[in-house]
Chain A
Amino acid sequence: MPLEVAGAWVEFGGGLFAGPRKAALRGVDLRLPGGEGGHILAVVGESGSGKTTLTRLLLGLLAPTRGRVLWQGRDLATLDGAARTAYRRDVQAVFQDPFGAFNPVYRIDRMLTLPALRFGLARDAAEARALAEAALETVGLRPSETLGRFPHQLSGGQRQRAMVARAVMLRPRVLVADEPVSMVDASLRATILESLWRLRHDKGMSLVYVTHDLATAYQIADSIVVMRGGEIVEAGDAETTIRAPRHPYTRDLLAALPPADPTIGWRLDDDTAHPSAKEETA
């Protein structure tokens, strides 16, 4: 069991001046299965569901008010020097807001080549640069247009892809990705999700894929948990969760997804009244 959350609560406020006490997470249990093959767990929820707070717990960026986060059976809060370094290497992150994740005064190069050298993936600067270039190409970025730039010189989608490239290059055992493709166009989204899916199937990497999008969750995940109001309302394997959702909220989410097929779905108007509808499929 590499990564596990047990009975986690995260509460804010409640002090003398901090207003009423609010809970972002209310007793969440989550287990990312270990083992050889790797596993993709999708955490699906809308704004305010607590999915990003859960990400921060898994990455050790936030400690639960109550409950525990465990890495290989050990409480994250008690990891000592060597174990903590190993955790930092083995568990990597892709953040939703990649602008907040980059140090603005360093070029993109540094965030790729520095860990390549530090984690022993490259022996010298030339090797590190070659690794960085290969990683950027796997996510559809041109190294010549990316390396040498500062974070503010890239678009949101490009920064997201640079983060995915970094994660891919470092070959972590677990990747925690919070909306890694939310700013990326559809055609490229498929390419990036495929590279993440391959890392799980070819290299045995595990992935926690945090998203609001049930369709891409279904596309890549082995299992899905659905969050609402700081709680997990439904959990199961991906096929069952989508084909036979038990919780009404999961059914609402599925019903609200626009099907990419104009012949079925919402029927926002009686389209026989419109001239172009008469042509059908010409």
Chain B
Amino acid sequence: MSAAPVLSVEGLSVTFATPRGPARAVDGVSFALRPGERLGLVGESGSGKTTTALALMRLLKPPARIESGRILLGGTDLVAAPEPALRRLRAARIALVPQGAMNALNPVLTCGAQFADMFAAHGAPGGPARIAGLLRSVGLEPGVADLYPHQLSGGMKQRVCIALAMALGPAVIVADEPTSALDVVVQKQVMTTLVRVQRELGAAIVMVGHDMGLMAQAVHRIGVMYAGRLVEIGPVRRIFAAPRHPYTRMLVESLPGFGARGVFRGIAGLPPSLVDLPPGCAFAPRCPRAEARCTRERPEARAAGADGEVRCHRAEEGDDAA
């Protein structure tokens, strides 16, 4: 709480132009990222988590558009920054570990050439020895620099992407489902590498994902998104032990464990269309605790425990005293 945030997102809204009108994919999202912190953004398809990640990188393309809000990175508002400034900041101050490492690397360049390109673009010193050191730090042989992406396994490619993201020592790493394409054994290895590298660098991470189990292991704080809104945020242990938002609770309860078999706790219903959001709480139509007010009034953020916020009219009633 004490340290100044490395990244502040304030009232971020992103809309997509669609034939049926503007779809609000991200709707007034605010959070602050502390130095060295790993923050997870979870949510289902269409919840706006990947759109938020791409907005942080200013990598959204039409029909997506940042409608309002600020993204403050060390005094610079990325939303207002012109493209040349963004090019200097990307990779150097805020770097992306992309979702599918499969498509993120240039297929016609060796891995070493992709590092060299990036160093050249930023006027940073980076010879073969530096590249070898980066590859070693993510558990790869220096010889990988001479290989093309198609010669690498999925896990190796994702490690190359991590090495690329850390190469210029960014303050913030945005990791968009960094291990979703990997098998579980490799996933654990890559996640361990990512966290080790992040700690060595002293960087903060915004990690986007849908796997609550992985988030439980990987992050310090979790933000839960639903229909473009950040409905709850808090320390990971509190989110799992005493979720305040009914959606968070149902999400945690829907996870399969190794307890009783044949027990299913799905969430009935579907998320609303982003083109036609209900006037009140977006989760109200599926919420077992919704009352009349929930369908009329949009809930504002309020404090939830230490270091947490929730957007729900019914949040405190009936919940564990946590």
Contacts and interface: CB of A to CB of B under 8 A. Distances in A.
B184 A219 contact: no
A59 interface: no
B45 A157 contact: yes
A185 interface: yes
Residue among B211, B235, B238, B250 facing the most chain A CB atoms (10 A cut-off): B235
A23 B12 CA distance: 52
A242 B259 CA distance: 11
Contacts of B45: 155, 157, 185
B251 interface: yes
B252 interface: yes
A155 B44 CA distance: 13
B59 interface: no
Given A219-B262, A220-B261, A258-B214, A282 B188 contact: no
Interface in B119-165: 154
A22 interface: no
Interface of A is mostly: helix
Interface string B187-225: 110011001000100000000001111101110110000
B213 A259 contact: yes
Interface string A238-282: 110010000000001100111111110110110100111101111
Interface stretch (A11-19, A89-97, A119-127, A187-195): A187-195
Contacts of A277: 220, 235, 237
Main secondary structure of the interface of B (DSSP, over half): loop
Nearest to A219: B256
Contacts of B234: 282
A261 B257 CA distance: 10
A182 B250 CA distance: 20
A77 to B, nearest CB: 33
Interface stretch (B21-29, B77-85, B266-274): B266-274
B238 A189 contact: no
Contacts of B292: none
A215 interface: yes
A46 B238 CA distance: 33
A212 interface: yes
A191 B268 contact: yes
Contacts of A282: 234-235, 238, 242, 305-308, 322
Contacts of A275: 1-3, 34
Given A186-B44, A190-B254, A258 B216 contact: yes
A260 B238 contact: no
A265 B258 contact: no
Nearest to A257: B184
B185 interface: yes
A25 B184 CA distance: 22
A218 interface: yes
A262 to B, nearest CB: 4
A187 B267 contact: yes
Given A47-B183, A186-B251, A268-B192, A219 B264 contact: yes
Contacts of B266: 187-192, 194
B213 A46 contact: no
Given A258-B217, A266-B192, A212 B241 contact: no
A191 B264 contact: yes
Contact of A258 (B213, B240, B252, B263): B213
A140 interface: yes
A194 B261 CA distance: 11
B72 to A, nearest CB: 20
Interface in A197-239: 197, 201, 212-213, 215-216, 218-220, 238-239
B285 interface: no
30 contacts: A47-B154, A140-B269, A186-B212, A187-B250, A192-B266, A194-B264, A219-B261, A219-B262, A242-B258, A252-B185, A253-B185, A256-B184, A256-B185, A258-B214, A260-B213, A260-B216, A260-B257, A262-B236, A263-B237, A265-B216, A268-B191, A269-B195, A271-B220, A275-B1, A277-B235, A281-B237, A282-B305, A282-B307, A282-B308, A282-B322
Given A140-B269, A265-B216, 12 more contacts: A142-B270, A185-B44, A186-B251, A187-B266, A190-B264, A191-B267, A215-B213, A216-B256, A258-B214, A262-B216, A282-B306, A282-B308
Interface of B: 1-3, 34, 36-37, 44-45, 154, 183-185, 187-188, 191-192, 195, 199, 210-214, 216-218, 220-221, 234-238, 240-242, 250-252, 254-258, 261-270, 305-308, 322
